[in-house]
């Protein structure tokens, strides 16, 4: 009898939600508010880029993540490639009323390859490698690939007063899967699929409004995204 009870309990446990993610409301719309900035050192191939992102499980108030990131960029002359070496600090909050947070320091390297098709289609391929130092976890790495596509709508070029369709898909793959204390993560980390509209105010400033679906191994959630992109 004990064996039957144990076997029944074990089988039922296979269908229970995974610990730490059962409370996430996948139907609740979240929101990310983002500011991106880039600059170059006069006519030099060197520059800086950075971003601040305030991410919420809901529209505002329930912190998902606060991300602050910056990096040194290099763009070889006569080449469209841009390389970046950077650092990020991330504070991650728990879903709902739980105020507990965890912190992460992250070093990253990335390469950005822009490719234009015709007069209206602008793509960017971004490859990023991250070294992650997450609180209460062993050292981790992650690989990311993002394909961006911007399509000019009311003009034939991405210039002042252009309205454009903005699309991207980013895939995240974990490196080390053992994160310590007999815990592991899946090879697939997450995927982000985004659709939005952008407006170019001038050559140094543009805005985007869109929706992104983020799917992890445990949950899938839609996010409103509002972003400002500035060149100084």
What domains does the chain contain, in order, with CATH numbers?
A: 29-231 (2.40.160.40)
According to DSSP, residue 44 is labeled S
C-beta separation of 129 from 148 below 8 A: no
Distance CA 58, CA 31 (A): 6
Q: Is 152 exposed, middle or buried (0-12, 13-18, 19+ CB in 10 A)?
A: buried
Task: Give the model confidence (pLDDT) of 144-180 as tens digits.
Answer: 999 999 999 999 899 999 999 999 999 999 999 999 9
pLDDT at 212 over 50: yes
Model pTM score: 0.88
Task: Give the model confidence (pLDDT) of 94-130 as tens digits.
Answer: 999 888 999 999 999 999 999 998 889 999 999 999 9
pLDDT of residue 57: 97
**Structure tokens of 230?**
């500035």
Task: Give the model confidence (pLDDT) of 213-231 as tens digits.
Answer: 999 989 999 999 999 999 9
pLDDT at 17 over 70: no
More confident residue, 189 or 78: 189
Phi, psi of 5 (to 5 degrees): -60, -45
Residue among 106, 113, 115 at smallest CA distance from 133: 106
Distance CA 39, CA 23 (A): 41
Average pLDDT, the chain: 91
Task: Give the model confidence (pLDDT) of 66-103 as tens digits.
Answer: 999 999 999 998 888 999 999 999 999 999 988 899 99
Using the Cα atoms of residue 67, residue 210, residue 99 and residue 93 in order, give the sign of their dihedral: negative
Q: Which helix (H) or strand (E) holds 6?
A: helix 2-13
Q: Note the Cα 167 to chain centre separation in Å.
A: 14
Any residues with CB less than 8 A from the CB of 202 and at least 6 apart, and which? 160
């Amino acid at each position: 009898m004990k064996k039957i009870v144990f076997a029944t309990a074990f089988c039922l446990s296979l269908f229970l939600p995974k610990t730490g993610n059962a409370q996430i409301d996948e139907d609740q719309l979240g929101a990310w508010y983002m500011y991106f900035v880039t600059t170059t050192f006069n006519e030099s191939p060197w520059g800086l880029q950075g971003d601040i992102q305030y991410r919420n499980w809901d529209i505002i108030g329930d912190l998902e993540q606060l991300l602050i990131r910056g990096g040194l960029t290099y763009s070889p002359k006569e080449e469209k490639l841009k390389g970046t070496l950077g650092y990020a600090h991330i504070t991650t909050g728990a879903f709902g009323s739980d105020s507990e947070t965890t912190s992460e320091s992250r070093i990253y390297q990335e390469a950005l390859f822009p490719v234009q098709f015709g007069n209206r289609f602008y793509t960017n391929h971004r490859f990023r490698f991250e070294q992650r130092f997450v609180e209460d976890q062993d050292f981790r790495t992650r690989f990311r690939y993002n394909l961006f596509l911007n399509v000019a709508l009311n003009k034939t070029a991405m210039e002042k007063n252009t309205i454009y369709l903005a699309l991207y898909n980013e895939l995240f793959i974990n490196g080390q899967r053992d994160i310590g204390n007999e815990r592991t993560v899946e090879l697939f980390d997450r995927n982000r699929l985004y659709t939005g509209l952008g407006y170019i105010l001038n050559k140094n400033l543009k805005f985007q409004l869109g929706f992104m679906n983020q799917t992890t191994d445990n949950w899938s959630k839609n996010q409103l995204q509002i972003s400002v992109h500035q060149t100084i």
